[in-house]
Amino acid sequence: MAHTPEIPEKYVCTACQVVHVGTVSAHTDAGYRYEVPETCGCCGGTEFVSESEWPHADR
Ligand SMILES: [Zn+2]
């Protein structure tokens, strides 16, 4: 059985810059699908950008 490590999608809260791991929303043949968390557990913010886009995000 193939076992490939999954790298979860990560999202950065634009308010406090804490990184959150995306919520698993679906299991697909290609792996898992991740969704942006609804709210930041640290500051309650709701604005997230994916970690890979963070360096380009306007502040
Ligand atoms: Zn936050």
The token pair at 30 is 């290609």
Is there a domain that residue 16 lies in?
Answer: yes
Q: Is the whole-model pTM more than 0.75?
A: no
3 found inside a domain? no
pLDDT of residue 2: 66
pLDDT tens for the chain, 59 residues long, are 567 677 888 999 999 999 999 888 899 998 888 899 999 999 999 999 999 898 886 66
Q: Is residue 50 part of a domain?
A: yes
Decide if 15 is inside a domain.
yes
On whether residue 35 sits in a domain, the answer given is: yes
Q: How far is the CA of 55 from the centre of ligand 1 (A)?
A: 17
Domain residues for 46? 10-56
User: For position 12, what pLDDT does the model report?
Assistant: 95
Q: Which residue has the tokens 């930041």?
A: 40
Beta-bridge mates of residue 28:
31
- Integer-rounded Cα Rg, in Å, for the chain is 13
Residue 2 lies in a domain: no
Asked if the structure places residue 1 within a domain, the reply is: no
59 Cα to the center of ligand 1, angstroms: 14
How far does residue 17's CA lie from ligand 1's centre (Å)? Answer: 6
What is the domain count for the chain? 1
